[in-house]
Structure 1
């Protein structure tokens, strides 16, 4: 990373950043304890979901393959974010190398993008299952699902390379202190001395195309699903469709609401402290990976019964009802 000294016209190499994770006074201990609990729940919950889907061959249908891959992404997301955050808050390990900062930023962006696209895939899966139930087995095949989830990391890596290129172009002439708990692209741009609008324009374009785009696809799919479900005469099937859709929508809301709030609040003119923004940032990044396995475990009887069977030593390879 280069820091330019305009007075002497010298370029100084700065090898690291300082993360200034401002927390509400008196809440550091509580925040660390909450993060530890969240991390443990995330690890245990997502591992259980992955294990039962892997062990129970009756759960190898497209919907459960998507859920299993979401659990893998949630597990990776929690691991890349929470331990470093705890180190910053509790141990004052605020220094992060330039390379480490860029890797963390790019890793988080990739994981978030993969989750957004995976949630869109899941919405399309439910759309086909409800609107075209007879054609579902021929349209949504396991081969198609595995190809989709395999392409996800490659697509995210390539499409987000522009972030990586732009981040390495930034120079810092005033400070290398980042007012956030983690390395974030927008924070790097705002902290840098670069005034070219292309850096923030990239963020806006990516949010609209790769963030809002999948969200609109999800919402359109579920609107169509609700319309189709209302036309289904069988009450049991109708309630089953709504139950499945509600589960997915809760997961979508947990993923999208916090970042949307962080974009809307500054534009609304509402004055929010740095500690407040950090709280929203922390919640938005660490809560969804924790609640997703809990949501699926409680609302999906197949996963719930399989976890129960695993924990009690009973056979989990039971008959699974197709949704």
Structure 2
């Protein structure tokens, strides 16, 4: 680092992972366990969906895509966190590592948010307009939608990359967390211009609030329609499917909401608590999603059983 006109030329950041030494062993063990289960579970879900032709359907494309996102999410965050906690490898190159991690993390979070909205829309059409489902929700339409979502998400974040390059640092290059975070970079920089935080706030509304509102409206409408079904079996089937998706939605949104809203509401949170909230809030859903779908989705459950045992179990209707 070089001093130039009271501005630090930053080539790397130092991650100050504020975890008490007596809790590091527990956190390292928890992260290693979560990462292993997440990798194994999500790879298994992807594999059985690819290998079973019966699962080559829109909803399973969504579930497989969610597993890919969870794989990426865990791999972007957990290995670096483990290296910081285990090896004290806290120095990260500015552009090559820190900015890249920040960009990829934003990307997978945005993809998952909209993917959950797509899944809610899929269930909405299936329940409200069942006769039109096969014509409107096709593998081709789903694949095109996911491709467009990826492209749009990348383009929408490009301006943040340009803003990052404009930041200057006068006092420190230490980030007080276990990860590279755009808002934290802005706070430790010399700049107090709101233009650097407005894009982040806009992104949270567009990629967080709007999809969540859409999901809640969709499932509320589905619940109303399910109550009108006279068949107890049909009603149970609809509610079972919705509960599975709402579990996944809750795992994604509740920790992130607390992570962003509590400090904004003026609630005092220690750096250690903030780090633990962020780590668990992002790592645990990636581990739990494949477990939820393995146990609650009969077709995936049956395919996993067949994959390991080598023979089919009795056929379940979805």
**TM-score of the aligned structures, taking structure 1 as reference length:** 0.95
Map 1:19-58 onto structure 2 (within 5 A). 19-58=15-54
Shift in Å, 1:152: 2.3
Shift in Å, 1:61: 1.1
Partner residue in 2 for 1:16: 12
Partner residue in 2 for 1:194: 191
Partner residue in 2 for 1:84: 80
Cα deviation digits, residues 99-138 of structure 1 (max 9, x gap): 1100000000001101111110000000000000111101
Q: What secondary structure sits across from 1:204 in the alignment?
A: helix
Question: What is the root-mean-square deviation in Å for CA atoms of aligned residues?
Answer: 1.6
2:279 equivalent to 1:272: no
Shift in Å, 1:165: 1.4
Structure 1 residues 218-227 or 200-209, which shifts more? Answer: 200-209
The one of 246, 251, 255 equivalent to 1:249 is 246
Q: Distance in 2 between matches of 1:268 and 1:10?
A: 34
**TM-score of the aligned structures, taking structure 2 as reference length:** 0.96
Unaligned stretches of 5+ in structure 1? none
Q: What secondary structure sits across from 2:14 in the alignment?
A: strand
Q: Distance in 1 between matches of 2:169 and 2:45?
A: 44
Partner residue in 2 for 1:131: 128
Shift in Å, 1:55: 0.6
Shift in Å, 1:14: 2.1
2:84 equivalent to 1:111: no
Q: Distance in 2 between matches of 1:26 and 1:37?
A: 18
Q: Distance in 1 between matches of 2:65 and 2:202?
A: 27
8 A Cα contact 1:4 1:172, kept in partner: no
Partner residue in 1 for 2:90: 94
Q: What secondary structure sits across from 1:17 in the alignment?
A: strand
2:25 equivalent to 1:64: no
Cα deviation digits, residues 1-55 of structure 1 (max 9, x gap): x9765xxx26542210000011134100110000000000000100110011001
Q: Distance in 1 between matches of 2:127 and 2:317?
A: 15
Q: What secondary structure sits across from 1:18 in the alignment?
A: strand
Q: Distance in 1 between matches of 2:217 and 2:180?
A: 33
8 A Cα contact 1:120 1:218, kept in partner: yes
The one of 174, 179, 182 equivalent to 2:176 is 179
The runs of 4+ residues in structure 1 deviating greater than 6 Å are none
Q: Distance in 1 between matches of 2:309 and 2:2?
A: 59
Partner residue in 2 for 1:74: 70
